[in-house]
Every structure is written in structure tokens, then in C-alpha cells.
Structure 1
Amino acid sequence: MSECGQDCSTFQILICNVDSFPEDHSDACLLSHLLPMVARHWTEHVGEAPNRFEQEKQDYAFCLSHTLEVYNPEYVLLVEDDAVPLTDVFNAFFHLVQVRFPEEPLGGGLYVKFYHPERLQGYLNPEPMRILEWVGLGGLAGLVLTWVYTLTLRQQQFSWWVFVAFTIYAMILAELAGRHYLLELRRISPALYNVVPVTECCTPAMLFSKASARRTLSYLKEMVCKPGYAKDIALYQELRRRGEWAWALEPNMVTHVGMFSTLRGSFEGEEPQLL
């Protein structure tokens, strides 16, 4: 935020501590000396949730609602504790609210995801727009390779078979190299950022407008999460049921650094400090 300068002078940070024993969360308590902090188990009576997934949903709703109460902000960027924002996160924010969606906050969408797992960003995924992007990239690269091939062999006639072969070759090469690496080229300028319809996974960093945050809270209140129906899947299915939409921003604006999952029991029995 200090590097962002005057443009971020009105931004505020709130630490949301939803640990069952807030005073034992050493990181949050240390940060509370520098930044405002709210702790769920200090401010309200919390009953036992039926499962971890419902507990996570309730904690998420608590943090979102208290951010609205404390600051009444125009936008909320809710970042989970295993996500590290990248240096261009503020460029992405200003581009979204000032250039992409200047008339209506987030274009009327419920949220904008700032992260999608790299393993799910490939071309061979069920998002139709990625297939069009893949074919377009292959066609452009195939045209360039065909032009180089024609000049090298000093052929006078354009060969469609050569063009198709190079196009397929470029598409396979792009998939093997990894689409998420190619997306990094978009960091050259915010104008190159890709805003696409959202998919259901995941929630390490989510941008809400004030109005959409309140809608999200009302949706979360109505649903009960359980194994196989976590909050990210629940929100996505609720969008489709209501005929609403949300967005995902590419490339990722945060890095997911989590290794220890209390939600799914990864490394169960191990001390997370040792990992």
C-alpha cells in the first residue's frame, strides 16, 4: 500500500481473526499491534458448526460483514491468510473499477476472483472461451511459422496443409508449456488483463462491491455447507440458480502459499509450523 502511494491513501486493512482461541493466534495478535483486528470468538457467541465446511462459511461471512460494519467501504478485497498479493494487485483493482466497470460496480457481478489454481487454467478445461483462445493463439502462431517456413524454403505458394500443421503444433506446444505461464505476459499492461466468466473454485482472494457483499452475505446465510459443497461451490451454484454472474481476473493477482489444510485434513497430525 505504501508503494501504491496517494491513490491508495483511503484504503484500510482489517485483520479478521476467526481462530477458536483468538489469543493463541500469534500472527494475528502480533499484527493487531499495527492494524485493527476483529476476532469472532471475542465479539459474538459462536455455536459449534455441524462440520468444517460450514464453519469456514460462517467465518467468511463474519469477516465480510464486520468489514462492512467497521469501514462501510465502497469495495472489499477479502484475502485469506494463505494468499500473498502480488505487486500489481492495486493496478488490477483500479483497472477493474475505473476502466472495465466504470458505470456499475463490478458490472453488476457478485464478485471478482483474483485467483484460480494454475492446474485448472489450462486450455483443456471445460471453459469454452479457452478453446477459442487456444485456437486463436495456434492460428496466429501457425501463420507466423508458415510465413517463416515459406521464406526459408523460398516457396511462392501458400500451403494450407503447412499452416494447419503448424497451427496444431503451436496449440500442442502452448498446452504443454502451460497456459498460466503465457498469462504472465499480460502483466505488461493492465489493459491486457483478461476478465472472464467465473468458475466455481476457489476463494483465496475475492473482490466485492458494497452492494454485492451484502447480497453475498444474504446468500451465505441461506445455505449450509458440507463436504463436497464448500462455500466456493455453493456461491457458484447460487449464481447459476439465480441467473446472476461473477468474474475471474487473469493472470492471478495473489500467490496461494497454503500447505496445511485444516479444512480437508491435509498433513493431519503434523504441526503446521514444521511444514
Structure 2
Amino acid sequence: MCYVLYYCRTLRNFIKWLIITPFCCFARQFTRSRLVCLIKILSVYMVTLTVLFIICQKLPYSYFYRLYDSSGINFARIRILNDQRRFKAHEVLLELNPNETRSMYLENAKSDHLKYAIGVVTVARKNFISEVGELKYLTQVMTQLHDVIAKQGATNDVFPFICNVDLKPEDFDEALHLAQYFPNITKLYSSTYQQGSFQRTGKTEMEKQDYVFCLESALEYSPDYVILIEDDAYPKDNFLEVLEHLIKTKLETNIRRGERTLNTVRWGWVKLMIPYSLTKYHRNWFFFYQWVALALLHSGIVWLAYCFYIECCSSTQESPANIIKTYARSLCALLFTFIYFLLIIWIIGRAYYVQVRSFSPYLHALEPGTSCCTPALLFPSSEVPSIVKYLGSIKCSRHFPLDFALDNYRIDNNIKQYLVSPNIFSHIGFYSSLRQSYNTNEAEFV
């Protein structure tokens, strides 16, 4: 007991000497010069906030964007971007030979060493939206997939296919046109189901059933990995290169004590995209740690520079009182700088810091996944049968959607899920096929 009391007193004295005493000394010495210093600090804060407000007016993911642009959705800009992608897709189709392209991919489906089966889950979207013009999301996604696969030289390893789950697939003109170029798998419905069962089943449950159908369809080709994407998840130019790197270095193997070993951790899926508006620092413990770590990194660099400056300007011999004052000023500088960078990083938004990694495929990382969203997922084929069986045993609803069901499966089976950071797919579906309405989160599209 005496030892415990002794160590408690020693710890208390250490904390008092390290933190409390310098700040008390600083408080007693709060003269006019300290007041001037505080005013200077507040001035720096105000100037920084003003500059950030001017800069962040054009940054859709920043906290100042909505304060500046409250006029509503920028349909003109969304339409321009969509038209640019449609024009690019049209050019790609003009260069393709329909029979050769389709035959090439169908030949891949017979391979015993198929690496990826990529299913694009699609339903017809209404095209009467004058604000954004003709949509053609499926055309954009399929042509971009083919373009990336061809440029990466992976045409023998990948089997992309259209998974048409529309209630009236024979009336889905866009999918029927693309079926000339790419393999097309259609989910057939009876006329009885079309007339009444859809309303009784519900949109969310129907979405889950469609997802299960596409998973099972992809698994029939015996690939190593199944990638299921929605028809408005647009692949980035380096998505295959990033996947190859992450699979080889993070998922199949990992490095321990300088040696590469097989990864024995069971994982269910990797999320290849999540809306950046849902990855703000307060939405996940990992994102929160990133926020604090970034602020500590920036403030630590500035603080070291400040300490170096003080050391160069100080006299060779100082009294103990002056040493304590200098130490107190140093701690205050670190505190104010840390708060300063916390504020700046929060205002700018996590999306722009994450994008720094997009300069190279080797800078992408795997982070702990979140429960949200299923626009683009990578599954190991070994895990797909269990997922299909689980999804078939439960019913989804508006309060229990597909992404929540997958998260429950992960928790029940104690498996890992990951998130690629930054995204290697982008969301182009401004008009939602599930809600049959506009997506109010404009930042994803401009």
C-alpha cells in the first residue's frame, strides 16, 4: 500500500511540474505583452477563416460550400459532365466491333483461371428529366470498364457482364443495345409477378433479391473474385491497377517482421467506393483518428520550427524561472497551433486530404469499412455462397436495407470488411433508380 501511495504522489508531482506549474507561471505573468500576443493569435484565426471562406466556396465537400451556394442544385454543371462522359462512351462504342468484343469476353467465361467476374447491376431509368438530359449511365459504365480493361492488358482475366434485373427487361432498350457488345444476363419475371408482387415485396427487398441473383450469376463462372457494381458507379482509369496492388500486398499476403506471408484473416468484401459526404471525420472512429493525427502532424511541424526559432534567439545561459516561462510559451504555442489545424482540416473536409493518395496506385490504402453503401464491392469467391445463403434467409425493408444486412452478416460471422481509400469508383447516378428522384447531395456529381 505504501508503494502505491508513493508512486501516486510521484506521478502527481510529475504532472504538476510538467504541465500545471508552467501554465500557472504563465498566468501570473499575463502582462500586456501576453494580451497583445493573444490578440495576434485571434487575428491569425480570423484571417485564416476569411481566406478559407473565399477558397472553400468552390469546394463542394467543404463546410463553407453550402453557405455560399444555397441557390439549389447546379443542373447545368451536372449536365455538362454527364454529356462529356456520354460523348466519350459513344466514341468507344464506335471503335468496337460488336461480335469480336462479345466473343472475346464469352471466351473468357470458359477459362479455368478467370480472376474477376464484374457484374453491373442495372434497371431502366426514366429519361424524361430535362434538367440533366439523357442519362445513359449503363453505357458510360460499360464502355469505361472495357476501356480500362483493354488499356491494362487484362482482357483475358476479366469477364464483365450486364446483369439486367429490370421488371421488363425486354423493354430496356439501352441494355439490349449494349448486349451486342457485352455479355448480358437477364433476370426473368412472370407476368403475375410484374402485376402485383413488386408492390407487396417492396423496393428494398427487391433490390436485395436482384443483388443475390447477380452474385449467383457471377459465381457460375468460377472467378477468383466477384465485383458487383451498380450501373451508376463509374470506374476510374486506374481501378484495376489499384486492385491488383491491394490484393497482392494487403489481402492475399501481408508483411510481418520484414517477411511476406499469406494472409489468414477472413474477410468478406472490400468497398471500392463510398460517398465522400458520408466519410466526414465525425462519422467513424477511424476517420476521427485521422483528423486528430493530421492536426498533430501539422501542428507538430510548426511547433518544432517555433522551438528551433526560440532556441536560436535565446541566450546561452538562462535562469530556471526563464526556462519555465519559455517552456510555458512553447506548450501554449503547441496548444493553439493544434486547435488551429483542427479547425482548418475540419473546414476543408476529409475528401480533399484523401485525394492526395490518388496520385499513385501504390498510395491507396485499405481502411476499416463502414456499414454504409453498396455501389461497388469486391468479394472473394469463397465467401459468396455464405453471403447468398444469409441474404436469402432474411428480408430487407426500408429500415433494414441491403448494406445493413451485409453488416449484420459480417458481425455474426466475425469477419473483416475494408474500404479502399481514396475511391476507385465515382458516383454518377444523379437520378436514383431506387427512389425514382434526384439525389440532393450535389457534391458527388459536380
Same fold, TM-score > 0.5, yes or no = yes
Deviation at 1:78, TM superposition (A): 0.7
Shift in alpha-carbon separation, 1:106–1:197, aligned structure 2, 3 A: farther
More displaced stretch, 161-170 vs 54-63:
161-170
Q: After superposition, where does 1:260-271 map in structure 2 within 5 Å? A: 260-267=431-438
Matches of 1:135 and 1:170, distance apart in 2: 9
Deviation at 1:164, TM superposition (A): 1.9
Question: Which residue in the other structure is 1:77 paired with?
Answer: 227
Root-mean-square deviation over aligned CA pairs: 2.5
Matches of 2:264 and 2:388, distance apart in 1: 17
Instruction: Check whether the contact 2:165–2:187 (CA below 8 A) recurs between aligned residues.
Output: yes
Question: Which residue in the other structure is 1:113 paired with?
Answer: 271
Matches of 2:357 and 2:270, distance apart in 1: 17
Q: Which structure 1 residue ranges, 5 or more long, are not aligned?
A: 269-275
Instruction: Check whether the contact 1:83–1:204 (CA below 8 A) recurs between aligned residues.
Output: yes
- 1:117-144: per-residue Cα shift (whole Å, max 9, x none)? 111111122x222222222111110022
Shift in alpha-carbon separation, 1:221–1:38, aligned structure 2, 3 A: same
Shift in alpha-carbon separation, 1:220–1:111, aligned structure 2, 3 A: same
Q: Which structure 2 residue ranges, 5 or more long, are not aligned?
A: 1-148, 254-261, 315-325, 440-446
SS of 2:300's equivalent in the other structure is helix
Matches of 1:210 and 1:253, distance apart in 2: 21
Total equivalences in the alignment: 265
Question: Which residue in the other structure is 2:373 paired with?
Answer: 202
Instruction: Check whether the contact 2:235–2:424 (CA below 8 A) recurs between aligned residues.
Output: yes
Match of 1:223 among 386, 394, 398: 394
Matched, 1:130 2:287: yes
Instruction: Check whether the contact 1:97–1:106 (CA below 8 A) recurs between aligned residues.
Output: no
Deviation at 1:260, TM superposition (A): 2.0
Looking at secondary structure, tell me which structure has more helix per residue.
Answer: 2
Identity %: 30
SS of 1:124's equivalent in the other structure is helix
SS of 1:141's equivalent in the other structure is helix
Question: Which residue in the other structure is 1:64 paired with?
Answer: 215
Instruction: Check whether the contact 1:106–1:112 (CA below 8 A) recurs between aligned residues.
Output: no
Matches of 2:202 and 2:313, distance apart in 1: 68
Instruction: Name which structure has the greater RCO, CA cutoff 8 Å, separation 6+.
Output: 1
Q: After superposition, where does 1:1-275 map in structure 2 within 5 Å? A: 1-5=149-153, 7-41=154-188, 48-49=197-198, 50-69=201-220, 71-103=221-253, 107-125=265-283, 127-149=284-306, 155-156=313-314, 159-267=330-438
SS of 2:228's equivalent in the other structure is strand
Matches of 1:227 and 1:33, distance apart in 2: 36
Q: Which is greater in Rg? A: 2
Write the letter of the residue equivalent to 1:145. Answer: V
Deviation at 1:149, TM superposition (A): 4.5
SS of 2:281's equivalent in the other structure is coil
Instruction: Check whether the contact 2:246–2:365 (CA below 8 A) recurs between aligned residues.
Output: no
Deviation at 1:214, TM superposition (A): 1.7
Shift in alpha-carbon separation, 1:220–1:129, aligned structure 2, 3 A: same
Write the letter of the residue equivalent to 2:169. Answer: P
Instruction: Check whether the contact 1:105–1:209 (CA below 8 A) recurs between aligned residues.
Output: no
Q: TM-score, normalised by structure 1?
A: 0.87
Question: Which residue in the other structure is 2:84 paired with?
Answer: none
Instruction: Check whether the contact 1:193–1:250 (CA below 8 A) recurs between aligned residues.
Output: yes
Instruction: Check whether the contact 1:97–1:105 (CA below 8 A) recurs between aligned residues.
Output: no
- 1:183-233: per-residue Cα shift (whole Å, max 9, x none)? 111123333322122211101100011111222111111110011111011
Write the letter of the residue equivalent to 1:75. Answer: Y
Shift in alpha-carbon separation, 1:133–1:8, aligned structure 2, 3 A: farther
Matches of 1:205 and 1:89, distance apart in 2: 11
Shift in alpha-carbon separation, 1:155–1:171, aligned structure 2, 3 A: farther
Instruction: Check whether the contact 1:115–1:205 (CA below 8 A) recurs between aligned residues.
Output: yes
Shift in alpha-carbon separation, 1:165–1:108, aligned structure 2, 3 A: same
Write the letter of the residue equivalent to 1:10. Answer: D
